[in-house]
Structure formats: C-alpha cells, structure tokens
Amino acid sequence: MKQHVEIHYKEISENSEYEEIINKVIKCCFKKENLDMLKLYISITLTVPEVIQSINKKYRNIDNPTDVLSFPIFQKEEIDSLIKQNYEIEDVLGDIIISIPKVKEQAIEYRHSFERELSYMVVHGFYHLMGYDHMNEEEKTEMRSKEDIILNELQITR
C-alpha cells in the first residue's frame, strides 16, 4: 500500500491507534479525489493546545488554540493540473496540525467517538489542502458534503 501521509508527534506520545485512523482516512481521501496514483503526501503533526496556539499566532496572527490547522502548498487549480498530468514528482500536498486533547474534548462534547472526531479533523484538514473552505454558506455546503462522503464511505458516523 502506498503511504500518502507522514505522521509527526510534538509533545505527545506516538500512538498506533491514531496512525491507523489517519492512514485509513487519508487513503480514502486520496482515492476519492484521484490523488492515489500520485507521489503526493501530507505531513500531519499531532500535538497539544499550547503548540497549536503558538503556530496559530505565528502564521495566522490569532493567539488562541484551535483543533486543526491546515497549510496548503498548492492552489485548487494547481492540484487539478497535477492530477491531469499524472504528476510523478514526490511532493508534499500540505501540512495539517491537530490538537489531540482538543479532539478528545470535542468527541465528548459532540457525543461521538474519538475515532469519529479525529477522522473528521483529518478529512477537514485534507479538504482545506485541496483548496476548499467554509467562509460562506455555499463553500461550507460543498466542503461539508465532501467530508460527509468520506466519513460515510468509511462508516465513521456520529
């Protein structure tokens, strides 16, 4: 199986359960978006609120912790072009940073499993890397629809 994700840990312990969830979700995302034959990969860092707050402040000038941050490398149109030309260079699609304590907290708050919440954070971050956003209702609807397709296909529901 081709790996499309590189997982890093910052101030938390490595965890095979997290890695299994992340790999399963990213594999489905890559397949659904026709990226599975390309040599692109995503860098995912799992961390704590203090680290994500520091990154949020440095790169977005927002001095608050959050659940997930995404830093895309390509614009949506560039990704479409990479797919069309069957891009063969190994390259990073972007970076996703996830606060594991926040994932645990939100799983409890929304009354669903840790697996569901982590999967959602990964899918949400992935679609930001793909050029989707939720700044207005139309964008939000399109992005949520794509996220739901992945989670439903994996049978990861609330």
pLDDT per residue over 47-92, tens digit each? 999 999 999 999 999 999 999 999 999 999 999 999 999 888 889 9
In a domain, 158, yes or no: no
Query: CA 7 to CA 98: how far, in whole Å?
Result: 11
In a domain, 133, yes or no: yes
DSSP H or E run through 5: strand 5-9
Q: What is the CATH number of the domain that holds 15?
A: 3.40.390.30
Q: Give percent of the chain with pLDDT exceeding 70.
A: 99
DSSP H or E run through 70: strand 68-72
| pTM, rounded to two decimals | 0.95
Expressed as residue numbers, the domain containing 19 is 5-153
pLDDT band, very low/low/confident/very high, at 1 (cuts 50, 70, 90): very low
Radius of gyration from C-alpha coordinates of the chain: 15
Count of domains observed in the chain: 1
**CA angle (26 as vertex; 46, 155 as ends), nearest 5:** 105
Cβ–Cβ under 8 Å, residues 77 and 65: no
Q: What is the mean predicted confidence (pLDDT) over 120-124?
A: 98
